[in-house]
Amino acid sequence: MTPEFVVAFAQDAIKTTILVSMPMLGLGLAVGLIVAIFQAVTQIHEMTLTFVPKILVVLLALLFFANWMIEYLMRFAATTIEQIPFYIR
């Protein structure tokens, strides 16, 4: 196992993590920004107003993207497991 291999494997793992989490984080960020603008315009600063919409959107995104996320993670895991003999060398 060479240092280049370890770096490449770590890059693939980080890329997979970012790609899988991006739909939920992106939609949560967008809703948070919309709620923050709404709060700034109306001067309503209620704590539950920020959390409830974000939680609902993240849960909906999880339901919508779950199939793709599981498929992507399974592909990454299968590739990793298939390459175990090459890791040992």
pLDDT attached to residue 5: 84
Residue 62 lies in domain: 3-88
pLDDT of 22 higher than 80: yes
Binning pLDDT at 50, 70 and 90, where does residue 2 land?
confident
For the stretch 42-81, pLDDT in tens is 888 887 888 899 999 999 999 999 999 999 999 999 999 9
Average pLDDT value for the chain? 91
The total domain count for the chain is 1
DSSP string, 14-66: HHHHHHHHHHHHHHHHHHHHHHHHHHHHHT---HHHHHHHHHHHHHHHHHHHH
Separation between Cα atoms, residue 1 and residue 11, nearest integer Å: 15
